[in-house]
Chains A and B, each alone.
Chain A
Amino acid sequence: MSLFLSKPLSPLNQSARFLEGSIVSTAFDIANRARELAADFQGRRHAWMVRSSQASDVFGALLLCESLQLPLVICHTHLPTEQVREIQESQRVGAVIHPHMQIERLPETTDQKGQESVFSILLMTSGTTGKPKIARHSPLHLLGRMRLVKSDPPAKWLLTYPPTTFAGVQVLLTAVLSGSELICPQNYDIFSLAQSAEELNVSHISGTPTFWRSLLVALGATSKLPALRHVTLGGEISDQATLNRIRQRFPSARIAHIYASTEAGSLFSVHDGKAGFPSAWLEEGVDGTALSVRDDVLWVRSPRRMLEYASDHEALMSQGGWLCTGDRVKIDENRVYFVGRSDQIVNIGGSKVSPADVEAVILQVEGVSDVIVRAVRNPITGFVLAADIVADRGVDQNVLRRLIVSHCRRSLSDFQIPRMIRFLSASMQSYSGKKLTGEKT
């Protein structure tokens, strides 16, 4: 399989451009740099890691590892150094690509000699504290649903996902393979994204439903983003009200909601403007993927799923290659609707969080006697986490609150931090019952 390099970049791909702040680079420039680096590292047998929040670095790393035919670990940039080191050891990483394609060589281990020489792409799942799950993908699978067609007029994509995520890599490769311009914000807060969308006349945006609802709040009152032609939603449940609001605001855009995950890969997209998907797909399959509902949970068998977990995790997979998505569905009048999760995981703005993991972090704070973290439903982000705290006797709650907030900021990602912190008396806590982490309705 050749992605880009072994069959030199086509004129179409070469013209793709990355806009990162004031820096503009073409796919052609990045490919040249990757080619130079590849020449320096011929013969070395180890995995690579890219640790940069810049899309051009992730793209350069993909080209480099394709050329060397070695595995590439795409690392989330918010992971603590200690955890990154562990991953480097377990995945036998011999070199790290930092921002602006700066290379850090790691000491070689004897194990590396026997390492298999295959280009694979290792992507981390979002959310949950502790050891991240790492899904190994073949490049062929990642490119499975992409089309090598230049859009006319040329497309301008706005990257709303960090380029180190499964969704970010999908957008980045889609933009490059269609010879488009990719606008990579230097800041992913909604205000900056809305500004970029308005000022740079973007034509294509893929984001979570939370992103889209927030964009509608953040955009100028009359702004309709006249250049916007393609709207894609994914990563969370796309409900009818959100789809309708987007349709009203951007009447001429094509709207699709996609179903994908880091493990299952890109599965299918729905273009009829309606929430859910046709139940006929359960019988017929869609885009090469077979779908089945078992005990109200969606299982998928897709040619584009990951090869395996490269980390020490076990996928819920049955014989014949069926993967459990953990997404609960209901069938109503020939339509399948997503209704939530079957496990204790909460989807917050497209990132998966385990309340139990967050509880463990809060329990590390001195003065916390007990804690229940639960998901509270809301119309903007789907869910937000609330922590009900039982404080040790005699502890000042205001002081403890500040300690909890600062400890969470140090230990957790933004979306994992409980935004609502409340104190319960010990008697209320026993009344409420431990580990009632279900959503509040």
Chain B
Amino acid sequence: MELRQLVSVICVRVKSIAEDKGTSIGSVGADTILLGGIGLDSLDLAVIVVELQEITGKDPFQEGFIEFRTVHELAVLFSNHDR
């Protein structure tokens, strides 16, 4: 999946999680910081990562945790990783 598509998938998911929680988070884009006070918690982020693993069939965390901060940085992990 292309980077642009991945960014868009993550943004849509962040918004739908916020809607489920009944919080409004305004605009979400590539530079949005995932745990930067937009109402997402660690478990929400965990769900997004699991879904990205399912959609792309890739697991950039095979060797363990890797740091990322923004929507874009997370998307990059899933677009560049080779199995």
Select one of A239, A249, A381, A420 contacting B42, CB under 8 A.
A381
Q: CB-nearest residue of chain A relative to B51? A: A420
B55 contacts the other chain (Cβ, under 8 Å)?
Answer: no
**In the complex the two chains form, is A381's CB within 8 Å of B46's CB?**
yes
Q: How far is the CA of A191 from the CA of B40 in the complex (A)?
A: 9
What range describes how many residues of A lie at the interface? 20 to 34
Cβ–Cβ contact A420 & B35, under 8 A: no
Which residues in chain B, 8-51, are within 8 Å of chain A measured between CB atoms?
20, 33-37, 41-47, 49-50
Complex: chain B residue closest to A440, CB-CB: B50
Whether A134 sits at the interface, judged by CB under 8 Å, is no
Bound-complex Cα distance A380 to B46 (A)? 6
Partner of B49, one of A189, A244, A380: A380
| B67 near A384: Cβ-Cβ < 8 Å | no
Nearest chain B residue, comparing its CB with the CB of A348: B43
Complex Cα–Cα for A414 and B35 (A): 17
Q: Which residues A351-410 have CB closer than 8 A to chain B?
A: 376, 378-381, 384, 405
How many Å lie between the Cα of A262 and that of B65 in the bound state? 27
Are A380 and B45 interface neighbours, CB within 8 A? yes
CB distance from A355 to the nearest CB of B (A): 15
A210 CA to B46 CA in the complex, in Å? 10
- A109 located at the interface, meaning its Cβ lies under 8 Å from any Cβ of chain B in the complex: no
Q: Which residues in A have their C-beta under 8 angstroms from that of B47? A: 378, 384, 419-420
Task: Give the residue among B37, B42, B64, B69 with the most A Cβ atoms within 10 A.
Answer: B42
Residue of A nearest to B50 (CB): A378
Contact present for A217 and B43 (CB under 8 Å): no
Q: Which of B45, B66, B67 has the most CB of A within 10 A?
A: B45
Q: Assuming A191-B35, A191-B36, is B65 touching A349 (CB within 8 A)?
A: no
- How many cross-chain pairs have Cβ atoms below 8 Å apart between A and B? 78
A214 within 8 A of B: yes
User: Does chain A have a CB within 8 A of B63?
Assistant: yes
Docked Cα-Cα span, A276 to B33, in Å, equals 33
Contact assessment for B37 and A380 in the assembled complex, using a CB-CB cutoff below 8 Å: no
The reply to whether A217 and B46 form a contact with Cβ atoms under 8 Å apart is: no
Q: Are B44 and A419 in contact (CB under 8 A)?
A: yes
A217 and B20 in contact (CB under 8 A), knowing A191-B35, A379-B65?
Answer: no
Tell me which of B20, B35, B41, B68 contacts A405 (CB under 8 A): B20
CA distance A214 to B45 in the complex (A): 9
| Residues of B contacting A217 in the complex (Cβ-Cβ under 8 angstroms) | 34-35, 45, 67-69
Contacts A191-B36, A218-B36, A420-B50; is A210 near B67 (CB within 8 Å)? no
- A379: contacting residue among B36, B44, B49, CB under 8 A: B49
Would you list which residues of chain B between 47 and 80 have a CB under 8 Å from chain A?
A: 47, 49-50, 61, 63-69
B22 to chain A, nearest CB (A): 9
Whether the Cβ atoms of A242 and B64 lie closer than 8 Å is yes
Residues of B with C-beta under 8 A to A194? 35
- Select A216's contact among B49, B64, B67, beta carbons within 8 Å: B67
Q: Give the distance in Å from the alpha carbon of A415 to the alpha carbon of B42 in the complex.
A: 10
Asked if B43 contacts A221 (CB within 8 A), the reply is no
Could you tell me the distance between the alpha carbons of A221 and B42 in the complex, rounded to whole angstroms? 18
**Given A214-B35, A405-B20, do A190 and B41 touch, yes or no (CB 8 Å)?**
yes
Q: Provide the residues of chain A in CB contact with B42, threshold 8 Å.
A: 190, 210, 213-214, 349, 380-381
CA distance A379 to B77 in the complex (A): 13
Asked if B64 and A349 make an inter-chain contact with CB atoms under 8 angstroms apart, the answer reads no
Interchain residue pairs with CB less than 8 A apart (25) = A191-B35, A191-B36, A214-B45, A216-B65, A217-B35, A217-B68, A217-B69, A221-B69, A239-B64, A239-B65, A240-B64, A241-B65, A244-B64, A245-B66, A376-B50, A378-B47, A378-B49, A379-B61, A379-B65, A380-B46, A380-B65, A419-B44, A419-B47, A420-B47, A420-B50
